[in-house]
Amino acid sequence: MRKIETVFFDLDGTLVDNYEAITKCISVSLEPMGITPPTLEKVKHTVGGSILITFEKLIGKNLAPQAAKTYMEHIKDYELLGLKEMPHAREILQGLKSRGIKSALFTNKSQKSAENIIEFLNLSRFFEKIIGTDLHGARKPEKEFTLLALEKMNADFETSAVVGDSPYDYKAAKACGLMPILVATGGNSFESLESLCPGANIFKDLREAEIFIESR
């Protein structure tokens, strides 16, 4: 049985619900462009790759860079709006820490936003590293970003897992041979994850994921 010593957690849709803030800032970014903003539900099913990719999906590749730049300029004003932990987020982090399993945050959100969110929710003590991105840097599912995360944690891919809610997390894990563990708590249903992520360990929530990890 493959032992897990290090877990790389996704943020949005996995550990936190930050969709209200993201939706608000997307709206603010699109307003000066005269584009009707998407609904929260639409945003929930679009985010994951990065804010640039999100805008590419919403308004096309030509307009996305302008909107993404505006978003990054304003997200600090909205990033805590409606913010809340996902069910069982604190419990899984506490449980892993008590068992000596190392945790890192592994997110396509900007480094500063990720740090602010984790600090606001008083979750910082559970993470050895917070590994975020910038607008044009490496990100999930690029192999370079997963390798960077492994290096920062001094972790071995054979004893590491990625816990996330999307195919981006699955592909980031598979890129370097980490174990993919997915929860159907974000924009993808259980059935969708099963279809898009063959061979992944898929659970309905973080409580089930914790039981699986601790059984290894």
C-beta of residue 13 within 8 angstroms of C-beta of residue 86: yes
Structural domain containing residue 42: 19-78
Mean pLDDT over residues 14-26, rounded?
Answer: 96
Cut 0.85: pTM above it: yes
The pLDDT confidence band at residue 1, using thresholds 50, 70 and 90, is confident
The CATH number that applies at residue 52 is 1.10.150
1 lies in some domain: no
pLDDT of residue 50: 83
pLDDT of residue 204: 98
- Number of domains the chain is built from: 2
Higher pLDDT, 169 or 135: 169
Range from 11-15, 128-132, 134-138, 187-191 carrying the lowest mean pLDDT = 134-138
Do 128 and 97 contact (CB within 8 A), yes or no? Answer: no
Helices (H), the chain: 19-30, 40-44, 51-59, 64-78, 89-98, 111-120, 143-153, 167-175, 190-196, 206-214
pLDDT at 13 over 90: yes
Which residues are paired to 53 by β-bridges? none
Asked whether residue 174 is domain-assigned, the answer is: yes
